Amino acid sequence: MNVLASSDGAEYSMGRLALLSVSDKSGIVDLARQLVTEFDFEIISSGGTAKTLQEAGINVTKVSDYTGSPEILGGRVKTLHPRIHGGILARRDLAEDLAELESNSIRFLDLVAVNLYPFEKTIAQPNVTVAEAIEKIDIGGPAMIRAAAKNFANLTVLCDPSLYEEYLAELAKGDISLEFSQKMAGIAFNRTFAYDRAISTYFAELNGNTDLPDAYSISGNKVQTLRYGENPHQPAAWYSNSNTGWSSGSQLQGKELSYNNLVDLEAARRIITEFPTDEPAAAVLKHTNPCGVAVADTLAAAYEQAFNADNVSAFGGIVALNKTIDVPTATALTTTFLECVVAPGCDEDAKEILQKKSKLRVLVLPDLATGEKNTIKAIAGGFLVQASDDLIENPDRWEIVTEKKPSPAEIAEMLFAQKVVKHVKSNAIVVTKNRTTLGIGAGQMNRVGAVKIALEEAGEQTSGGILASDGFFPFDDSVRTAAAAGIKAIIQPGGSIRDKDSIAAANELGIVMVLSGTRHFLH
Ligand SMILES: NC(=O)c1ncn([C@@H]2O[C@H](COP(=O)(O)O)[C@@H](O)[C@H]2O)c1NC=O
């Protein structure tokens, strides 16, 4: 057996060698034990890891003994040594590399198992100081992970305890395949990329450069490969980059979530969080547009009102509820075909009722209110980032511009309508009464067209209703059409050069007009 002398004069065999240096020590003892007992590995480890292994009775050489350099600067320098990095980066098929390893008494490494200081977890804790965060920026770990990933043709890197079992299974089959090491290298680079992204985001925040930083990167781990995207010919997958949001929710029952389900569920989540949980609210959506939204005294009543607002469109819809699903609501939900239901909770007996519709996807997302600060859209050669439209409408900032003034009840109704119209694709018009939508005109290329659709949908119930518009009226035609159908109050952002024409028409027709001052386009 070949032996190489260490700097301290000890001799090391030329068997397989693993470097284990882990912050998260879960699974490390089992890994090391199997490497040593079943696969004849020798182990070298940094201080804390070596201690853990020694305490478990595993034979291990400390990195500092192997390199002859003590760990210094309170652990800031442990493995940053040519004897480590030479062993990771050397090419076994290159005579020059072999000669240099030999002349420098460096051994090839076969395995590098490293996981990083918990930077992300540390900064997620409250009141963490900058100094504490900085000390959790791992330097030696990413250096080893990246080096080993680069040299995947000659060794394997494992950057997470969840990979140990797969590696041991590979070993048990014989030699580690190139394909396996390449796969592990990809996972490793993903990890260091995500790690650096977290650090760079932290620094952007420190430097007050958070909202639209000079460099913007998106990373995420695959939650699942989806059957397809918007259409069957479009491959798609779902990625997550945090412990919150949809991937933290639980699916109680039903078919696997599709791409379109997730897009619709997110639209549903956004609209339902407009309504505080002290009053039951329900929204039914199709293709990201609400087709019915209602607030009522009970959750079941809110759902039924939302469903009946447009029961033709609601068939196969996505339902969002702002309160825990109870038995009456579950019963109502099972009377028709729906794609998905999401709520912050579900009572046990309600679960049993929902199971009657076994294909219905029922999701529980306790924190429905937490969404993404920014929205991102791909365009050729890049992407657009904007702050999400999280503006909370405040009637105190609205301007009443007509001779006729709204009653407090009408202001409350307008607030309800504004909360809905904000989530309808532009051009958007919403007609409501008794905090229930009567008609919704979505995604029209001219505003009066959206008005006509909303009014037609509202039909005979329009009389005495209120109308909300996501953008200003360029002409007074929409006001006249609405008043003729019986609308008594209109809320719109204002801002057109012809606002005065619309206001004059409202005065002439004896209806209320309020300018919210805020446009809510949604594309
Ligand atoms: N500085 C270094 O040379 C260095 N080498 C390895 N580490 C990290 O130290 C941790 C393991 O340390 P220990 O075995 O002492 O518990 C791992 O998260 C590893 O990524 C280092 N720490 C920080 O950079």
Q: What is the 3-state secondary structure (H, E, C) of 341-405?
A: EEECCECHHHHHHHCCCCCCEEEECCCCCCCCCEEEEEECCEEEEEECCCCCCCHHHCEECCCCC
Residue carrying structure tokens 């594309």: 523
Q: Assign 358 a pLDDT band (cuts: 50, 70, 90).
A: very high
Instruction: Say how many Å lie between the CA of residue 137 and the centre of ligand 1.
Output: 10
**For residue 407, what is the DSSP state?**
P
Q: How many domains does the chain have?
A: 3
Q: Are 346 and 354 in contact (CB under 8 A)?
A: yes
CB of 48 sitting under 6 A from ligand 1: yes
Indicate the range of 108-112, 164-168, 200-204, 256-260 predicted with least confidence. Answer: 200-204
pLDDT for the residue 273: 97
Residue 390: is its pLDDT beyond 50? yes
Mean pLDDT, to the nearest integer, of 62-90?
A: 92
Domain endpoint, select from 344, 364, 384: 364
CB of 195 sitting under 6 A from ligand 1: no
74 is a domain residue: yes
Higher pLDDT, 420 or 15: 420
In this structure, the answer to whether residues 251 and 334 fall within a common structural domain is yes
Residue 352's CB is within 10 A of a number of other CB atoms, namely 11
388 φ, ψ (degrees, to nearest 5): -65, 150
Distance CA 421, CA 402 (A): 22
pLDDT for the residue 14: 58
In this structure, the answer to whether residues 63 and 195 fall within a common structural domain is yes
Instruction: Say how many Å lie between the CA of residue 154 and the centre of ligand 1.
Output: 22
Mean pLDDT, to the nearest integer, of 363-379?
A: 94
Question: What are the angstrom distances between the C-alpha of 225 and each of 182, 183, 259, 363?
Answer: 21, 17, 10, 19
Q: Are 503 and 473 in contact (CB under 8 A)?
A: no
Q: Which atom of ligand 1 is nearest to the CA of 81?
A: 3
In this structure, the answer to whether residues 58 and 200 fall within a common structural domain is yes
520 is a domain residue: no
Instruction: Say how many Å lie between the CA of residue 291 and the centre of ligand 1.
Output: 55
Indicate the range of 4-13, 101-110, 140-149, 403-412 predicted with least confidence. Answer: 4-13
Q: Are 442 and 462 in contact (CB under 8 A)?
A: no
Q: In degrees, to the nearest 5, what angle opens at C-alpha 514 toward C-alphas 508 and 515?
A: 120
Mean pLDDT, to the nearest integer, of 122-130?
A: 91
Q: Are 406 and 514 in contact (CB under 8 A)?
A: yes
Mean pLDDT, to the nearest integer, of 175-194?
A: 94
Instruction: Say how many Å lie between the CA of residue 410 and the centre of ligand 1.
Output: 64
Residue carrying structure tokens 């997730």: 262
Q: In degrees, to the nearest 5, what angle opens at C-alpha 117 toward C-alphas 113 and 123?
A: 150
In this structure, the answer to whether residues 198 and 254 fall within a common structural domain is no
370 is a domain residue: no
pLDDT for the residue 11: 46
Which contiguous run of DSSP H or E holds residue 408?
Answer: helix 408-421
237 is a domain residue: no
Distance CA 440, CA 442 (A): 6
In this structure, the answer to whether residues 400 and 304 fall within a common structural domain is no
CB of 76 sitting under 6 A from ligand 1: yes
In this structure, the answer to whether residues 61 and 7 fall within a common structural domain is yes
477 is a domain residue: yes
- Please give the full DSSP string across 452-518, using - where no structure is assigned: HHHHHHHGGGGTT-EEEESS--SSSHHHHHHHHTT--EEEE----TTHHHHHHHHHHHT-EEEE-S-
CB of 138 sitting under 6 A from ligand 1: yes
In this structure, the answer to whether residues 152 and 27 fall within a common structural domain is yes
Please give the positions annotated as active site: 150, 287
238 is a domain residue: no
Q: Say whether the peptide bond before residue 427 is cis (omega within 30 degrees of 0).
A: yes
Distance CA 184, CA 170 (A): 12
In this structure, the answer to whether residues 401 and 451 fall within a common structural domain is yes
Indicate the top mutation candidate among 23, 84, 136 to test ligand 1's pocket, ranked by most ligand atoms within 8 A of CB: 23
Residue 2: is its pLDDT beyond 50? no
Residue 227: is its pLDDT beyond 60? yes
CB of 107 sitting under 6 A from ligand 1: no
At 429-450, the pLDDT tens digits run 999 999 999 999 999 999 999 9
351 is a domain residue: yes
The percent of residues in the chain predicted with pLDDT above 70, rounded, is 97
355 is a domain residue: yes
Q: Which atom of ligand 1 is nearest to the CA of 80?
A: 3
In this structure, the answer to whether residues 27 and 100 fall within a common structural domain is yes
pLDDT for the residue 1: 31
At 36-69, the pLDDT tens digits run 999 999 999 999 999 999 999 999 999 999 998 8
What CATH number is associated with residue 19? 3.40.50.1380
Question: Domain containing 97: what range?
Answer: 2-206
Residue 211: is its pLDDT beyond 80? no
CB of 69 sitting under 6 A from ligand 1: no
Instruction: Say how many Å lie between the CA of residue 24 and the centre of ligand 1.
Output: 11
Residues of the chain by 3-state class (helix, strand, coil), percent to 5: 40, 20, 40
In this structure, the answer to whether residues 27 and 133 fall within a common structural domain is yes
In this structure, the answer to whether residues 197 and 251 fall within a common structural domain is no
What CATH number is associated with residue 491? 3.40.140.20
Residue 3: is its pLDDT beyond 60? no
In this structure, the answer to whether residues 268 and 175 fall within a common structural domain is no
Q: Assign 144 a pLDDT band (cuts: 50, 70, 90).
A: very high
pLDDT for the residue 359: 96
Residue 439 structure tokens: 């008609």
Q: Assign 212 a pLDDT band (cuts: 50, 70, 90).
A: confident
Distance CA 60, CA 163 (A): 21
Q: Provide the whole-model pTM.
A: 0.76
